[in-house]
A = this chain, B = another copy of it.
Protein backbone atom coordinates (compact mmCIF):
# COMPACT_ATOMS: atom_id res chain seq x y z
CA UNK A 1 0.00 0.00 0.00
CA UNK A 2 2.87 2.34 0.84
CA UNK A 3 3.84 2.50 -2.79
CA UNK A 4 0.41 3.77 -3.74
CA UNK A 5 -0.82 7.35 -3.39
CA UNK A 6 -0.43 9.09 -0.07
CA UNK A 7 -3.93 9.22 1.49
CA UNK A 8 -4.66 12.36 3.50
CA UNK A 9 -7.49 13.49 5.75
CA UNK A 10 -7.99 17.12 6.65
CA UNK A 11 -9.82 18.27 9.77
CA UNK A 12 -10.97 21.88 9.71
CA UNK A 13 -12.15 23.57 6.50
CA UNK A 14 -12.14 27.22 7.60
CA UNK A 15 -9.44 29.67 6.50
CA UNK A 16 -6.44 27.41 6.03
CA UNK A 17 -8.02 24.00 5.39
CA UNK A 18 -8.94 24.73 1.76
CA UNK A 19 -5.30 25.59 1.05
CA UNK A 20 -4.18 22.26 2.48
CA UNK A 21 -6.80 20.38 0.45
CA UNK A 22 -5.84 22.22 -2.73
CA UNK A 23 -2.14 21.55 -2.31
CA UNK A 24 -2.46 17.89 -1.31
CA UNK A 25 -4.88 17.41 -4.23
CA UNK A 26 -2.43 19.00 -6.65
CA UNK A 27 0.44 16.79 -5.50
CA UNK A 28 0.70 13.87 -7.95
CA UNK A 29 1.73 11.47 -5.17
CA UNK A 30 -1.09 12.31 -2.79
CA UNK A 31 -4.87 12.04 -2.58
CA UNK A 32 -7.27 13.82 -0.24
CA UNK A 33 -9.50 11.03 1.03
CA UNK A 34 -11.80 12.88 3.40
CA UNK A 35 -12.42 16.24 5.05
CA UNK A 36 -14.05 16.68 8.46
CA UNK A 37 -15.65 19.83 9.81
CA UNK A 38 -18.54 20.56 12.16
CA UNK A 39 -20.04 23.21 9.89
CA UNK A 40 -22.37 21.80 7.19
CA UNK A 41 -21.95 24.87 4.96
CA UNK A 42 -18.19 24.42 4.88
CA UNK A 43 -18.57 20.74 4.08
CA UNK A 44 -20.97 21.56 1.24
CA UNK A 45 -18.52 24.07 -0.10
CA UNK A 46 -15.74 21.50 0.09
CA UNK A 47 -17.85 18.89 -1.67
CA UNK A 48 -18.76 21.25 -4.47
CA UNK A 49 -15.16 22.01 -5.43
CA UNK A 50 -13.70 18.60 -4.59
CA UNK A 51 -16.07 16.02 -6.08
CA UNK A 52 -13.96 12.97 -5.17
CA UNK A 53 -13.47 13.85 -1.52
CA UNK A 54 -15.63 12.38 1.27
CA UNK A 55 -16.97 15.00 3.67
CA UNK A 56 -18.04 14.25 7.21
CA UNK A 57 -18.82 15.94 10.50
CA UNK A 58 -17.40 12.99 12.45
CA UNK A 59 -13.65 13.13 13.06
CA UNK A 60 -13.78 9.41 13.83
CA UNK A 61 -14.50 8.74 10.16
CA UNK A 62 -11.01 10.02 9.40
CA UNK A 63 -9.39 8.16 12.27
CA UNK A 64 -10.97 4.88 11.21
CA UNK A 65 -10.34 5.16 7.49
CA UNK A 66 -7.53 2.75 6.50
CA UNK A 67 -6.92 4.76 3.31
CA UNK A 68 -5.88 7.74 5.37
CA UNK A 69 -2.20 7.66 6.19
CA UNK A 70 -1.86 11.17 7.56
CA UNK A 71 -4.10 13.83 9.02
CA UNK A 72 -3.67 17.58 8.66
CA UNK A 73 -5.13 19.53 11.60
CA UNK A 74 -6.34 23.03 10.62
CA UNK A 75 -8.80 23.86 13.41
CA UNK A 76 -8.66 26.63 16.04
CA UNK A 77 -5.69 26.48 18.42
CA UNK A 78 -7.50 25.14 21.48
CA UNK A 79 -8.40 21.88 19.67
CA UNK A 80 -4.97 21.19 18.13
CA UNK A 81 -3.75 19.04 20.97
CA UNK A 82 -6.78 16.74 21.26
CA UNK A 83 -7.16 16.23 17.52
CA UNK A 84 -3.47 15.64 16.91
CA UNK A 85 -3.24 13.22 19.84
CA UNK A 86 -6.24 11.24 18.60
CA UNK A 87 -4.69 11.05 15.12
CA UNK A 88 -1.41 9.73 16.51
CA UNK A 89 -3.25 7.21 18.66
CA UNK A 90 -5.05 6.05 15.52
CA UNK A 91 -1.66 5.50 13.88
CA UNK A 92 -1.80 8.48 11.54
CA UNK A 93 1.06 10.82 10.73
CA UNK A 94 0.21 14.40 11.64
CA UNK A 95 0.71 17.84 10.13
CA UNK A 96 -0.61 20.35 12.65
CA UNK A 97 -1.13 24.10 12.45
CA UNK A 98 1.04 26.32 14.60
CA UNK A 99 1.14 26.65 17.51
CA UNK A 100 0.83 22.89 17.86
CA UNK A 101 -0.51 23.19 21.42
CA UNK A 102 -1.38 25.96 23.87
CA UNK A 103 1.43 25.00 26.27
CA UNK A 104 4.87 23.49 26.08
CA UNK A 105 3.78 20.62 28.33
CA UNK A 106 1.08 19.51 25.93
CA UNK A 107 3.43 19.93 22.99
CA UNK A 108 5.90 17.58 24.71
CA UNK A 109 3.18 14.96 25.14
CA UNK A 110 2.45 15.02 21.42
CA UNK A 111 6.14 14.63 20.61
CA UNK A 112 6.44 11.69 23.00
CA UNK A 113 3.37 10.02 21.54
CA UNK A 114 4.69 10.38 17.99
CA UNK A 115 8.14 9.15 19.02
CA UNK A 116 6.73 6.12 20.78
CA UNK A 117 4.67 5.13 17.78
CA UNK A 118 7.28 6.00 15.18
CA UNK A 119 4.96 8.49 13.48
CA UNK A 120 5.76 11.78 11.82
CA UNK A 121 4.63 14.88 13.70
CA UNK A 122 5.21 18.03 11.71
CA UNK A 123 4.21 21.60 12.54
CA UNK A 124 2.96 23.84 9.76
CA UNK A 125 5.48 26.70 10.01
CA UNK A 126 4.74 27.67 6.42
CA UNK A 127 7.23 30.56 6.28
CA UNK A 128 10.12 28.08 6.37
CA UNK A 129 9.01 26.87 2.94
CA UNK A 130 8.84 30.27 1.28
CA UNK A 131 11.52 30.66 -1.38
CA UNK A 132 12.80 33.77 0.43
CA UNK A 133 13.41 32.09 3.79
CA UNK A 134 14.94 29.07 2.09
CA UNK A 135 17.36 31.35 0.25
CA UNK A 136 18.26 33.20 3.47
CA UNK A 137 18.80 29.90 5.24
CA UNK A 138 21.05 28.74 2.41
CA UNK A 139 23.14 31.94 2.57
CA UNK A 140 23.54 31.69 6.34
CA UNK A 141 24.49 28.02 6.26
CA UNK A 142 27.02 28.59 3.47
CA UNK A 143 28.68 31.16 5.72
CA UNK A 144 28.10 34.07 3.33
CA UNK A 145 27.06 36.32 6.22
CA UNK A 146 29.89 35.25 8.50
CA UNK A 147 28.90 35.22 12.16
CA UNK A 148 25.26 36.21 12.54
CA UNK A 149 25.21 39.36 14.68
CA UNK A 150 21.48 39.95 14.82
CA UNK A 151 18.01 39.22 13.45
CA UNK A 152 15.69 42.22 13.76
CA UNK A 153 12.17 41.92 12.41
CA UNK A 154 9.14 44.20 12.12
CA UNK A 155 5.80 42.49 11.46
CA UNK A 156 3.04 45.05 11.90
CA UNK A 157 -0.26 45.92 10.24
CA UNK A 158 -3.82 46.85 11.01
CA UNK A 159 -4.55 43.24 11.90
CA UNK A 160 -7.42 41.25 13.24
CA UNK A 161 -7.53 41.54 17.03
CA UNK A 162 -7.71 38.00 18.39
CA UNK A 163 -9.75 37.34 21.51
CA UNK A 164 -7.88 34.38 22.95
CA UNK A 165 -4.23 34.78 21.94
CA UNK A 166 -2.00 37.83 22.05
CA UNK A 167 -0.13 39.27 19.09
CA UNK A 168 2.86 37.21 20.24
CA UNK A 169 1.17 33.91 19.48
CA UNK A 170 -0.42 35.28 16.30
CA UNK A 171 2.42 37.18 14.60
CA UNK A 172 5.68 36.67 16.50
CA UNK A 173 5.31 32.91 16.06
CA UNK A 174 6.37 33.36 12.41
CA UNK A 175 9.64 35.08 13.30
CA UNK A 176 10.36 32.70 16.14
CA UNK A 177 10.14 29.74 13.78
CA UNK A 178 12.41 31.49 11.26
CA UNK A 179 14.91 32.38 14.01
CA UNK A 180 14.81 28.78 15.23
CA UNK A 181 15.57 27.67 11.71
CA UNK A 182 18.31 30.02 10.59
CA UNK A 183 20.22 30.85 13.76
CA UNK A 184 22.35 27.83 14.62
CA UNK A 185 22.28 28.44 18.32
CA UNK A 186 19.72 28.16 21.09
CA UNK A 187 18.36 31.29 22.80
CA UNK A 188 19.21 31.32 26.50
CA UNK A 189 16.90 34.07 27.72
CA UNK A 190 14.09 36.30 26.54
CA UNK A 191 12.96 39.79 27.52
CA UNK A 192 9.66 41.06 26.12
CA UNK A 193 7.38 44.01 26.59
CA UNK A 194 3.82 44.43 25.40
CA UNK A 195 0.78 46.59 25.60
CA UNK A 196 -2.99 46.22 25.29
CA UNK A 197 -4.96 49.15 23.96
CA UNK A 198 -8.39 47.53 24.23
CA UNK A 199 -9.47 46.75 27.77
CA UNK A 200 -10.12 43.03 28.21
CA UNK A 201 -8.21 42.03 25.09
CA UNK A 202 -4.78 40.41 24.95
CA UNK A 203 -1.64 42.39 24.05
CA UNK A 204 -1.95 43.87 20.56
CA UNK A 205 1.64 45.14 20.40
CA UNK A 206 4.86 43.57 21.66
CA UNK A 207 8.63 43.67 21.37
CA UNK A 208 10.76 40.61 22.07
CA UNK A 209 14.51 40.28 22.55
CA UNK A 210 16.15 36.85 22.45
CA UNK A 211 19.60 36.44 23.99
CA UNK A 212 22.12 33.79 22.97
CA UNK A 213 25.41 32.70 24.50
CA UNK A 214 27.19 34.39 21.62
CA UNK A 215 26.80 38.15 21.08
CA UNK A 216 24.02 37.38 18.57
CA UNK A 217 20.69 38.95 19.45
CA UNK A 218 17.21 38.58 17.93
CA UNK A 219 14.46 41.16 18.18
CA UNK A 220 10.87 40.99 16.95
CA UNK A 221 8.43 43.90 16.75
CA UNK A 222 4.78 42.86 16.30
CA UNK A 223 1.72 45.08 16.25
CA UNK A 224 -1.93 44.67 15.23
CA UNK A 225 -2.47 48.42 15.27
CA UNK A 226 -0.15 49.83 12.63
CA UNK A 227 -1.38 52.18 9.90
CA UNK A 228 0.71 50.43 7.25
CA UNK A 229 1.69 46.83 6.74
CA UNK A 230 5.38 46.11 7.29
CA UNK A 231 7.07 42.73 6.95
CA UNK A 232 10.73 43.55 7.13
CA UNK A 233 13.69 41.72 8.63
CA UNK A 234 17.28 42.88 8.95
CA UNK A 235 19.90 40.20 9.44
CA UNK A 236 23.39 41.43 10.29
CA UNK A 237 26.51 39.36 9.93
CA UNK A 238 30.22 39.88 10.29
CA UNK A 239 30.67 39.57 6.52
CA UNK A 240 27.37 40.54 4.93
CA UNK A 241 23.93 41.78 5.88
CA UNK A 242 20.47 41.01 4.57
CA UNK A 243 17.29 43.04 4.30
CA UNK A 244 14.29 40.79 3.69
CA UNK A 245 11.14 42.70 2.77
CA UNK A 246 8.23 40.37 2.25
CA UNK A 247 5.95 43.17 1.01
CA UNK A 248 7.99 43.59 -2.16
CA UNK A 249 6.52 41.75 -5.14
CA UNK A 250 10.06 40.94 -6.33
CA UNK A 251 13.56 41.44 -4.90
CA UNK A 252 12.38 40.40 -1.46
CA UNK A 253 15.95 39.69 -0.36
CA UNK A 254 18.79 42.16 -0.63
CA UNK A 255 22.28 41.10 0.40
CA UNK A 256 24.63 43.94 1.31
CA UNK A 257 28.37 43.62 1.20
CA UNK A 258 28.66 46.10 4.03
CA UNK A 259 29.93 46.10 7.56
CA UNK A 260 32.79 46.86 9.85
CA UNK A 261 36.28 45.46 10.11
CA UNK A 262 38.02 45.27 13.44
CA UNK A 263 41.76 45.55 13.65
CA UNK A 264 43.04 42.80 15.92
CA UNK A 265 45.61 44.94 17.64
CA UNK A 266 44.26 46.05 20.99
CA UNK A 267 47.09 48.51 21.35
CA UNK A 268 45.67 50.98 18.92
CA UNK A 269 43.18 53.59 19.93
CA UNK A 270 39.55 52.64 19.56
CA UNK A 271 38.59 54.73 16.54
CA UNK A 272 41.51 53.42 14.54
CA UNK A 273 40.57 49.81 15.20
CA UNK A 274 37.20 49.93 13.46
CA UNK A 275 36.95 50.26 9.71
CA UNK A 276 33.83 50.58 7.57
CA UNK A 277 33.14 48.70 4.40
CA UNK A 278 30.51 49.60 1.77
CA UNK A 279 30.28 47.28 -1.21
CA UNK A 280 27.72 46.05 -3.69
CA UNK A 281 24.15 45.02 -3.05
CA UNK A 282 22.82 41.85 -4.62
CA UNK A 283 19.23 40.64 -4.86
CA UNK A 284 19.22 36.95 -5.75
CA UNK A 285 16.37 35.84 -7.97
CA UNK A 286 13.92 33.84 -5.90
CA UNK A 287 11.40 31.69 -7.76
CA UNK A 288 7.70 32.21 -7.06
CA UNK A 289 6.70 28.73 -5.87
CA UNK A 290 3.89 28.56 -3.30
CA UNK A 291 5.28 27.69 0.12
CA UNK A 292 2.55 25.18 0.93
CA UNK A 293 3.24 23.25 -2.26
CA UNK A 294 6.84 22.75 -1.15
CA UNK A 295 5.75 21.92 2.36
CA UNK A 296 3.33 19.22 1.19
CA UNK A 297 6.06 17.65 -0.95
CA UNK A 298 8.41 17.74 2.01
CA UNK A 299 5.86 16.22 4.40
CA UNK A 300 5.24 13.30 2.06
CA UNK A 301 8.98 12.89 1.53
CA UNK A 302 9.54 12.77 5.30
CA UNK A 303 6.84 10.17 5.88
CA UNK A 304 7.63 8.00 2.89
CA UNK A 305 11.39 8.32 2.53
CA UNK A 306 12.51 9.23 6.00
CA UNK A 307 13.68 12.73 5.06
CA UNK A 308 14.55 14.92 8.04
CA UNK A 309 11.62 17.26 8.70
CA UNK A 310 12.38 20.98 8.60
CA UNK A 311 9.88 21.71 11.34
CA UNK A 312 9.35 18.64 13.42
CA UNK A 313 7.64 18.50 16.82
CA UNK A 314 10.79 19.63 18.62
CA UNK A 315 11.07 22.79 16.56
CA UNK A 316 7.39 23.47 17.22
CA UNK A 317 8.03 22.94 20.92
CA UNK A 318 11.03 25.27 20.96
CA UNK A 319 8.88 28.03 19.47
CA UNK A 320 6.18 27.46 22.11
CA UNK A 321 8.77 27.58 24.88
CA UNK A 322 9.91 30.99 23.68
CA UNK A 323 6.30 32.17 23.42
CA UNK A 324 5.60 31.05 26.96
CA UNK A 325 8.73 32.71 28.29
CA UNK A 326 8.03 35.89 26.37
CA UNK A 327 4.49 36.02 27.71
CA UNK A 328 5.85 35.72 31.24
CA UNK A 329 8.37 38.49 30.58
CA UNK A 330 5.63 40.76 29.17
CA UNK A 331 3.69 40.32 32.42
CA UNK A 332 6.73 41.63 34.31
CA UNK A 333 7.64 44.58 32.06
CA UNK A 334 10.59 43.01 30.34
CA UNK A 335 12.16 41.07 33.22
CA UNK A 336 14.34 38.45 31.53
CA UNK A 337 13.19 34.82 31.59
CA UNK A 338 15.71 32.02 31.21
CA UNK A 339 15.38 29.54 28.37
CA UNK A 340 18.02 26.97 29.23
CA UNK A 341 16.87 23.73 27.70
CA UNK A 342 17.84 20.13 28.14
CA UNK A 343 20.15 18.88 25.43
CA UNK A 344 17.62 16.58 23.78
CA UNK A 345 15.65 19.55 22.51
CA UNK A 346 18.58 20.98 20.68
CA UNK A 347 18.68 18.50 17.84
CA UNK A 348 17.54 20.15 14.64
CA UNK A 349 17.24 19.64 10.96
CA UNK A 350 20.18 20.82 8.93
CA UNK A 351 18.53 20.89 5.52
Contacts and interface: CB of A to CB of B under 8 A. Distances in A.
Interface stretch (A27-35, A82-90, A282-290): A282-290
A178 B146 CA distance: 36
B196 A215 contact: yes
A29 B22 CA distance: 31
Interface string A324-351: 0000010011111000000000000000
Chain A contact residues: helix, strand, loop or mixed: strand
A218 to B, nearest CB: 10
Contacts of A274: 161, 198, 201
Contacts of A200: 266, 270
Assembly stoichiometry (copies): 4
Interface of A: 48-49, 51, 149-150, 152, 154, 156, 158, 161, 163, 189, 191-193, 195-198, 200-201, 205, 207, 209, 211, 215-217, 219, 221, 223, 225-229, 234, 236, 238, 241-243, 247, 249-251, 254, 256-260, 262, 266, 269-271, 273-274, 276, 278-285, 329, 332-336
26 contacts: A149-B195, A150-B197, A158-B276, A163-B269, A191-B191, A191-B334, A193-B217, A193-B334, A195-B215, A198-B260, A198-B262, A198-B274, A200-B266, A201-B274, A209-B333, A211-B333, A223-B234, A223-B236, A225-B241, A225-B259, A225-B260, A227-B236, A227-B254, A228-B250, A280-B283, A335-B336
